[in-house]
Amino acid sequence: MSVRFWGTRGSIPTPGRQTEKFGGNTTCVEVRHEDTIIVLDAGSGIREMSLAWLKEFGKSPIHATLLFTHYHWDHLQGFPFFTTAYMPTNTLDIYGNPPDGSSLEEILSGQMQGAYFPVPLAAMQATMNFHPVSQEFTIGKVKIKTFGLPHPGGCIGYRLEVDNSIFVFATDSEFDQVALNPEEIKANFVAPRKYAPELIEFFEGAHLLAIDCQYSDADYQSKVGWGHNSLATVVDLARQAQPKMLALCHHDPQSSDETVMQLIAEARLRVRDLADPQNPSNIPITFGAREGQRLAVQPPLFPLRWEGRHGESPTV
């Protein structure tokens, strides 16, 4: 199983020199296994992904699955620019559970109405099949499990398992909102969090965990309830779930590359400090997800293949 990040920014696209290292496109992640293609969310990064597909597949038919986590702008704003959806030879299976009773098709067509976009959903000529998200289902050989994430309006976490490889994608989430010891956290913000066993179970055993880490601990204090994690929350969840690789994502639009790198450096120090010194193999490889980054998710984890947005090999 391979994972490629096409959009790692949160809230709004942020192009510019200050974000060129980690990228400014909003959430879109591509997962492949054999001939199965799964896409997580349709933020602005999906446009660049579809252009890459044009070069790779040409006029050959594409059958892909699109899984939505939720429907805030930064997770669907790229869909009108999804070139793959305009080609009649292609087939898209689209999964999602809109929280307000709307259909998924209504959600996608709504942002393509004339007041917002000149081309309607009906102009997309690919075959589109819309599906609800169930607790467990299978795409190709990939077994998918879902879990509700604490975020305003709701959000779905996805756990993808195939060939003894596990990728967990937990974008927009604020796990302190469901911690069982809020008073302890209030008294000591870096205190260990206590969660329901089923939450930890969803994350356990992941070879790659990509998780919302939008805020530093200091920034989080003025943004409680906004639906995004602090560094302390993410590090402690990693301590309990013990992923092999920890990718910080959904970078704040206010965060420059330098700010994200500082957050990563602090995360690496903390995961080492919290790790069992008798078992250093439990220390996750910790890094910030970068636009264009591709890696193999399979045991054993070394060597890893990295490919940056311009073909370079960025360090972890």
| pLDDT tens, position by position, 265-295 | 999 999 988 877 777 677 899 999 999 999 9
* Domain-located, residue 306: no
pLDDT class of 298 with cuts at 50, 70, 90: confident
**DSSP track, 255-275:** --HHHHHHHHHHHHHHHHHHS
Tokens 């879990």: give the residue: 147
Q: For residue range 151-193, what is the model confidence (pLDDT) as tens digits?
A: 999 999 999 999 999 999 999 999 999 999 999 999 999 999 9
pLDDT class of 299 with cuts at 50, 70, 90: low
- Identify the domain containing residue 253 by its residue range: 2-296
Q: Look at residue 304 and tell me whether its pLDDT is greater than 70.
A: no
Residue 310: inside a domain, yes or no?
A: no
Assign 300 a pLDDT band (cuts: 50, 70, 90).
low
Q: How far apart are CA 229 and CA 217, in angstroms?
A: 9
As a whole number, the mean pLDDT across the chain is 93
For residue 101, name the pLDDT band (cuts at 50, 70, 90).
confident
Residue 279 pLDDT = 73
DSSP string, 135-181: SEEEETTEEEEEEEE-STT-EEEEEEEETTEEEEEE-S--GGGG-S-
Tokens 């809020």 -> residue: 182
127 is a domain residue: yes
CA distance 30 to 38: 6
- Give the total number of structural domains in the chain: 1
Helix (H, G, I), strand (E, B) or coil at 220: helix
Is pLDDT above 90 for 261? yes
Residue 230 per-residue DSSP state? B
- pLDDT above 90 covers what percent of the chain? 89
Domain membership of residue 307 (yes or no) is no
Q: Is residue 247 part of a domain?
A: yes
- Does 310 have pLDDT greater than 70? no
The CATH number of residue 230's host domain is 3.60.15.10
Coil, strand, or helix at residue 95?
Answer: strand
Task: Confirm whether 308 is domain-assigned.
Answer: no
Q: Looking at the domain assignment, is residue 70 inside a domain?
A: yes
- Look at residue 266 and tell me if it is in a domain: yes
pLDDT of res. 301: 54
Quickly state the pLDDT bin for 65 (edges 50, 70, 90).
very high
Triad 92, 94, 99: Cα angle to 5°: 165
Q: According to the model, what pLDDT value does residue 315 have? A: 38
Instruction: Confirm if 175 and 220 have CB atoms less than 8 A apart.
Output: no
pTM of the model: 0.93
